[in-house]
Structure 1
Amino acid sequence: MIVETNIRAAHMFRLIAKWIIIYLLLSIIVCIGYIEFGWRIAIPETEIAIMGTALSILMGFRVDAAYKRWWEARIIWGAVVNNSRTFAREVVGFLGKENTDIARTLIYRQIGFVESMGKHLRRQGGAEHLNRLLSPEDYDTIKSKRHVPNTLLMMNLKQLTELNESGRLNTYLLVQLETILQNLTDELGKAERIKNTPFPVPYGYFSWLLVHTFACLIPFAMVKELGYATLILAIIISFIFLIIEQIAIQIQDPFEGQPNDTPMTTIAKNIEIDLKEILGESPLPEPLTPKAGVSM
């Protein structure tokens, strides 16, 4: 996720710079052809104005649909943060000082769940990154699993059930902790739904096509009335529509590891710091700092 305003503006401009140059050259050709050589290439302004109004409505829906996916992704990870903290707090509180090692194992698995959830959504795969968090036995169990986050939740539930059977955790507290694990499963499923449901291709493609068609027609509609002033106004209008389209493209898939995506790596590190603090460990890991204005 881009966290610096100046970086955000520069990044977005770079994405559309080539199209701005193309439409500037087109506008120059249209102006010279109409004014200097008398080409009859002007088209009525009214039709272009109607097309621009319709396109504006379409782009509004386009950006809104993309933003809803991006915002839902952020809500999901906010819920993961809250449930992780609640799980760690209740594990430490319910198990007591006599079961510190067990609490640490459960919480480290939860840290591993959050970290592996981010990698799972980015299709990075593998479990090597969890070697530092899990016991050798746990690591051997998960390293060959296809769905690592789900396996870690299952391992925590299994251990909590064993604690209940041994009398170290009563049934009411087991149900309360299992509810948190269920909530985490729900959030994982919601994130996978966004990841596995691509933005509708016809919606995205035809909005892109219409934006570029409109940008091509702008100078033809303005040259008769504005002359060489068309160069300035055509580029401004083209820029507006191109930047709106690019905003939608940038935020419609929030788990791709791009600059405007949900910063899952940073969130996972912050959860690790919080949970280790709940355990009373020190020194705590350092939070990740944005690189080149981008938090990943």
Structure 2
Amino acid sequence: MSAPRSVFRPCIDLHDGQVKQIVGGTLSDSDPSNLKVNFVASQSPGDFARLYKEHDLKGGHVIKLGPRNDAAAKEALAAWPGRYTGGSVPCYVHTKLRTGGLQIGGGINDQNAQEWLDAGASKVIVTSYLFPGAKFSLERLQMLCSAIGKDRLVVDISCRRKGDKWLVAMNKWQDITDMEVCKESLDLLSAYCSEFLVHAADVEGLCQGIDEDLVRKLGEWVNIPTTYAGGAKDISDLDLVEKLSVGRVDLTYGSSLDIFGGTLVKFRDLIGRNT
């Protein structure tokens, strides 16, 4: 059996209906003027989805950062909907799993998860719903897993660093929850979901390097597919993530990438790295 290999996973971050790259730590409901935006795309969400589809970049995620993003998200999902595992027919029937396409996160809960799967998402990504009052609810996770199936559920354990620990952050990474990112919590969560998404919120959008300690720990702890985002600034970071995580963690590039206005990493080079 070949060793695990880290790959590039694409993203579409939506804010006020546009594709943007934002410094994660500046998102704030109480002080919107503090928001720092690195990039606003002239292309539509569908344009980015079609680009990813053209290069068969699976497992990408669309994240709705706040309100007024539903139409933009549905445009992206429609441009590359999930598919039957056995063919290319769009799947809006819930008896078979989907592959390819895009995952959707941001405001997902038990009331709307199926709606987003119907709209073409391959999987839904959930955080805040699992933490009412910033406290983890196993009951809510179990209920959502039962409603849509483990294979269509991704748990977002995006986090902020507190000393030598990382704590899950919800509500656009503004509120710290009672869950520590550690082997015990990841083992518990992985019983009810098929993937993890991890934004290192403290370095998100800064292009100053990944959180190496977190990536190393994730490599030790995770037993399901996991995507890390935050700080990637060079194509060599993909090799670094592979080394640190022993190939168990994939990497998303944001503000450093040329398709998002960056100058440090070329999209075509990442395409070559994934093949």
Could you tell me the TM-score, scaled by structure 1's length? 0.20
Max radius of gyration: which structure? 1
Structure with the higher fraction of residues in helix conformation:
1
